[in-house]
Structure 1
Amino acid sequence: MKWIYLAAGLALYLKIIVISNPEAGLFDASIVELVVQDSGVTNAVSGIIFRNRLYDTIFEVVVFTLAIMGVRFLLANEAPLTVVHQLRDQPSIVLARLGATIAALVSIELAIRGHLSPGGGFAAGVAGGTAIGLIAITSSSEWMEGIYQRWRAAIVEKISVLIFIVAAVMTLVGIEFPHGELGGLVSGGIMPILNILVAIKVALGSWAAVLLFIRYRGLL
């Protein structure tokens, strides 16, 4: 069987190298132009994610929510660690917090301008979660928990998911905001709002997961 797999893989690579795709070229460019015109945003990727395949995006947000719930469920019966060791040396703390500041600024930029340039809600949420993780490894877990509870981050996360689903369903049934001027910050109808909602959801969900893993597993 090993030789069959090797022969099939070799045949596939030969097909890719020898046989070209005659339809590649202007046809691909025209699809990008159609997506931009239809969505009203200059970032065709955002147009596809939040319009052409919005069904997929809705379920991606739901799956991420279920993943965070699964983490909470799996760790619910475990005993929290009594001592959580964090970074103590000053150079590491300075570098981690500098990286967190940069990641937070990138997150805000990607969330606000993700429909105009490479980026978007998911990338913004990952950058925000990275910033939170860098702060968490240099700060007291009790302090991080206190901020999470004080700002009602769990409630904000759930509300952002509900608003995203409602806004996405409105788009799917044909209710749209004016697209505005192509290339402007306020353009693309509801897409900038969807970008920001996804960024909030992913960042706060990452925050919850980081806190849970630190509480029950420490810094891995």
Structure 2
Amino acid sequence: MKWVYIAAGIALFVKILIMSNPAPDFSLSIVESVVRDSGVPNAVSGIIFRNRLYDTIFEVVVFTIAIMGAHFLLANEQPSAKVYRFTDQPSIVLARLGATIAALVGIELAIRGHLSPGGGFAAGVAGGTAIGLVAITSSPEKMQSIYKRWHAATWEKVSVLIFVLLAAITLSGFELPHGELGALVSGGVIPLLNILVAVKVALGSWAVILVFIRYRGLL
């Protein structure tokens, strides 16, 4: 049977070498079509939150399941006896300066992600990076108390529910007005979806960071 597979592989290789596969001639640029239909200059955001919105919904759901899985897999383990963190002042200053920059970049990417390169996922990663930098310079107890005080777990779940609801309404055919192309308030529901994904990813990253610090430490 393996000779059949080898012969099929050789035939496919020869086909690729001999037969040409010309690109189709589109009268309208795909990027221009996406920008026109979505109402946002960032065609990537238009594709993620409009053309392939089904995929994006399940990406958010998979990320949520991954966070739940981290809690489940580590629930029966003993917490780390001692958590090491940066204690020297220069490292603390640099880490928190980096956290401030990452947080500002995350806010910018979330708000203007439909106008320029960026978006909700990138903004969430930037927010998670900011939280991680603060975590390596703070006590786990302090990070946990802040997480509970601001009800971060509740906001994370609320952001997922609102995202799924808005996505379902959009997929049903109801869209907000696109507004003026290039304006901050434009693109219909896409800016809202960007912000919701950013909140979800950042708060989800915070939850995972707390879990791993508690059971694995920082190293």
Q: What is the rounded CA distance, in whole Å, between the counterparts of 1:155 and 1:90 in structure 2?
A: 34
Structure 1 segments of 4 or more deviating over 4 A? Answer: 8-21
User: CA-to-partner distance for each residue in 1:78-124, whole Å, 9 max, x for gaps?
Assistant: 12123211011222111111111111011000000000111100000
The alignment yields a C-alpha RMSD, in angstroms, of 2.6
Shift of 1:13: 9.5
Unaligned runs of 5+ residues in structure 2 are none
Q: How far apart are residue 28 of structure 1 and its match? A: 9.1
Deviation at 1:27, TM superposition (A): 3.1
- Counterpart of 1:73 in structure 2: which amino acid? F
Choose 165-174 or 72-81, whichever is displaced more.
Answer: 72-81
Give, in whole Å, the separation in 2 of the partners of 1:69 and 1:28.
47
Distance in 2 (CA, whole Å) between partners of 1:137 and 1:13 is 51
For 1:116-135, what aligned pairs fall within 5 Å after superposition? 116-135=115-134
**1:124-143: CA deviation from partner (whole Å, max 9, x where unpaired):** 00000000000000111100
Which residue identity does 1:22 align to in structure 2? P
Shift in CA distance, 19/101, structure 1 to aligned 2, threshold 3 Å: farther
Q: Say which SS state the counterpart of residue 181 (structure 2) adopts.
A: coil
Indicate the residue corresponding to 2:159 in structure 1. Answer: 160
Q: CA deviation at 1:160?
A: 0.2
Secondary structure, aligned partner of 1:27: coil
Moved more, 77-86 or 101-110: 77-86
1:33 aligns with 2:32: yes
- The answer to whether residue 110 in structure 2 is matched with residue 111 in structure 1 is yes
- Matched residue, 2:23: 23
In structure 2, do the counterparts of structure 1 residues 87 and 40 end up closer, same or farther at CA, with 3 Å as the change threshold?
same
Equivalent residue number for residue 81 of structure 2: 82
1:150-173 CA distance string (max 9 Å, x none): 000000000000000000000000
TM-score normalised according to structure 2 size: 0.90
Change (3 A) 1:170 1:84: same
Matches of 1:109 and 1:219, distance apart in 2: 28
Unaligned runs of 5+ in 1: none
TM-score (norm 1): 0.90
